[in-house]
Amino acid sequence: MFDEIIREFHNELNSSVVSIPQPLKKADKGIDISNCTLSKLKEIVEKEDFENTPEEIEFFKKIKPCPMSYLIYFSEVRSCEIRKPKAGKNFQYNFFEKELQKINKFFYKNNDFVQYMEQGHEYLDHQLFTRHHRKNYPFIPMINYYQYPEFSSSHDMLWSKIQAMYRLIHYIREAMETLKPGSQEAMLDKKHKVMLWSGSKTSLVELIYALCANGDLNHGVVDISTVTASFEDFFNIKLDNIYKTYSEIKARKGPRAKYLQNLIIRLETKMNQDDEK
């Protein structure tokens, strides 16, 4: 049930938001979609609640932070676009530098919790991502937690903001890059050559999920749809319904990660051949 809502959320982001060129309009649309998704999740939680604690932890640790992190991200982008100086590249560049400083202070302040999450710890999850432990928090909870106690754990909002800040760093760096002298020429020079994926689409989906599962992209704080969009752009390919493809991969009999296993065999063979030369 939750998975279907999240799939619809990602599909709507890809179809309605990614293609909008203006950052402010993109942010407004993203905020609408994120709010709508959160409303759907909230309605289900209020009606049905959770069957057990692991299900509750899964929701507040992985499901709700997905649209919530995008809501925070798009809200921050909107704020930057409205507040940045209207003229003068130096003024605009300095503005974005100060925004990066704020983000660094945020990460420094919440370093212990960031490390807990990024290292994949779970020993405090029952305290951080359920609604039943409301005292003696090891990390400072977000103020918003107290506003919606039945739809919030103490730290799902903080985890959402951390993910949003990683995305915001990328947005700010891109904005700063365009303000540098000769940025247009630099962007043209850096644009990658046309690369075509000549393997099967299923193999590419398998590779994408493996990279995400291993946490090798954006410190593990990135969703499948974002990674997929990047791969589609780089390899000039359209991957239709990757969630269905992933389900088919999981349903395979015998070894399921066939493409990855084949990569290992091919690489080992090449290294052995190189050693013989």
Rounded mean pLDDT, 264-275: 90
On whether the CB atoms of residues 25 and 82 are closer than 8 A, the answer is no
Rounded to whole angstroms, the Cα distance separating 209 from 246 reads: 8
- 150, pLDDT greater than 80: no
Q: Model confidence over 224-258: pLDDT tens digits?
A: 878 888 888 777 677 877 888 888 899 988 889 99
What is the pLDDT of the chain when averaged over all its residues?
A: 83
Lowest-confidence pick of 8-22, 68-82, 122-136, 250-264 = 122-136
pTM here? 0.67
Residue 93 has pLDDT above 80, yes or no: yes
pLDDT value for 98: 94
Give the start-to-end residue ranges of the domains of the chain: 2-183, 192-277
pLDDT of residue 188: 45
10 Å CB burial of residue 84 (0-12, 13-18, 19+) is middle
Q: What percent of the chain has pLDDT over 70?
A: 88
Q: Is the pLDDT of residue 276 over 70?
A: yes
Quote helix, strand, coil % in the chain, to nearest 5. 70, 0, 30
Confidence category of residue 31, pLDDT binned at 50, 70, 90: very high
Query: If you search the block for the tokens 């493409």, which residue do you land on?
Result: 259
Lowest-confidence region among 114-123, 161-170, 264-273: 114-123
pLDDT at res. 25: 92
Task: Give me the pLDDT at residue 137, please.
Answer: 54
Name residues whose C-beta falls within 8 Å of residue 1's C-beta, 6 or more positions apart in sequence: 44
- Residue 85 clears pLDDT 70, i.e. is over it: yes
Mean pLDDT to the nearest integer, 47-52: 86
